[in-house]
Amino acid sequence: MKIAYVNEIPAMSQLQQFVQTYTSEVNEASHSSIFGITHAHYVISAVDGQQLIGCGYINEQEGRSRTHIYVAAAYRERGIGRNIEKLLYAERKFSPLTAAN
């Protein structure tokens, strides 16, 4: 298992499969906030081979930021969520849009 972290929005097919799996794992009818990733300011996706196993994003609106992190159940307790969080904050800190602030 080699986990790759990429700072891009996952393909819609990957995202839809992840949402379907994630929703069944947490026994929720819908977890539509994951789809907020398509409009996010900062994004990190975690993949194992071609499978999306986690993602996170930060949205900034009206001077407030909100962080969302999702990791598939089979990959939890391995530090993946924490790595996504660290990479998101690094991306935010060093992004050309915010680095000058």
Q: What was the pLDDT predicted at 101? A: 45
- The vertex-19 CA angle with 5 and 82, nearest 5°, equals 35
Residue 48: CATH number of its domain: 3.40.630.30
Query: What pLDDT does residue 61 have?
Result: 79
Flag whether 99 is in a domain.
Answer: no
Contact at 8 Å (CB) between 58 and 65?
A: yes
Tens-place pLDDT, residues 32-90: 566 677 778 899 999 999 899 999 999 887 788 889 899 998 999 999 999 999 999 99
Q: Does some domain include residue 10?
A: yes
Nearest to 15 by CA among 44, 47, 52, 46: 52
Q: Per the domain annotation, does 100 fall within a domain?
A: no
pLDDT for the residue 85: 95
pLDDT given for residue 75 in this prediction: 93
What's the pLDDT score for residue 33? 67
Which tokens hold the place of 25? 């794992």
In which domain, by residue range, is 87 found? 3-94
Q: Which residue has the tokens 């001077």?
A: 63
Total of domains in the chain: 1
